Amino acid sequence: MTGRFDGKVAVVTGAANGFGLATAERLASEGARLVLVDRAEEALQAASSKLNGLAVTADVSSESDVDEYVRRAVAEHGRIDLFFNNAGIEGRMAPMTELSVDDFDRVWKVNARGVFMGLRAVLKVMKPQRSGVIVNTASMAAIKGAATFSPYIASKHAVLGLTKSAALEGAPYGIRVNCVAPGHFDTRMGRDLAAQINPDDPQGVLDEVSKSVPLHGRYGTATEVANLVTFLLSDEAEYISGSLHLIDAALNAG
């Protein structure tokens, strides 16, 4: 039985956990050759061993690190067919008046600058191939505001803008670019945000947020995001580009 991604070379950032790991597992199960990127070296090596992928320890906010993970992918496999541009951080939650410029810059460097540099480096590989598919990780934060969360909100709005621009740049070369916009998910980031909101009772925060989710009344799983990402990376989505895809159990439907 053949897989949807047999022979395809897939680069995944933030691959050591969460959406990145779940997507890497799905891509591997369907035949892709993996290049796994993360700054958490120990967890990355464990994922790489499990999935038989090339591990590249890198900080996506570093231009030289981004260029290096792309160089390693091409040196190992000769091309890049699929790119899940996923790595991100949540940053500190506080009113704007209580945030430092460093607080803002820390989030921006990873979530926006890192996505831009990943797009730039991978498009340089895909354009001569005249093929490729990219999925960026945005968030429902890309379509709304939130008090006390301005650096993250700004960065995810930027991801949506970068997605649309890259889709238009890539279209003449047969390259598709989309982004996914998760709502509330049971990941390290989701749990850390709950702990920021109420350090004394993070589980209480998770329980209350779950009640606000119209469909199922629960946090989503990383596997559910991986299902959407792998669809967008597949040929089944060949007419989809330049768009944001909410996966939020109707949370933003109203």
Q: Tell me the per-residue pLDDT of 28-40, one tens digit each, with 9 for 90 and over.
A: 999 999 999 999 9
Residue in 44, 40, 142, 152 with CA at minimum distance from that of residue 89: 152
Domain presence at residue 48:
yes
* Span 193-243, pLDDT tens digits: 999 999 999 999 999 999 999 999 999 999 999 999 999 999 999 999 999
- pTM for this predicted structure: 0.96
Distances (CA, A) of 33 to 9, 122, 152: 5, 16, 32
Domain presence at residue 25:
yes
Q: Which residues are catalytic?
A: 152
What DSSP letter does each residue of 131-142 carry, written as one string? -EEEEEE--GGG
The count of domains in the chain is: 1
Percent pLDDT > 90 in the chain is: 98
Domain presence at residue 192:
no
Domain presence at residue 170:
yes
Q: How many CA atoms lie less than 13 Å away from 250 in the CB half-sphere?
A: 9
pLDDT at 1 over 80: no
Domain presence at residue 211:
no
Domain presence at residue 107:
yes
Q: Quick one: pLDDT band at residue 254, thresholds 50, 70, 90?
A: confident
Percent pLDDT > 70 in the chain is: 100
User: How confident is the model over 119-136, as a mean pLDDT?
Assistant: 98
**CATH code where residue 146 lies:** 3.40.50.720
Residue in 155, 143, 37 with CA at minimum distance from that of residue 90: 155
φ/ψ of 138, rounded to 5, equals -100, -130
Domain presence at residue 199:
no
Q: What mean pLDDT, rounded, does the chain reach?
A: 97
Q: Quick one: pLDDT band at residue 162, thresholds 50, 70, 90?
A: very high
Q: Which domain holds residue 225?
A: 9-184+221-247
Domain presence at residue 44:
yes
User: How confident is the model over 75-93, as a mean pLDDT?
Assistant: 97
* Span 87-122, pLDDT tens digits: 999 999 999 999 999 999 999 999 999 999 999 999
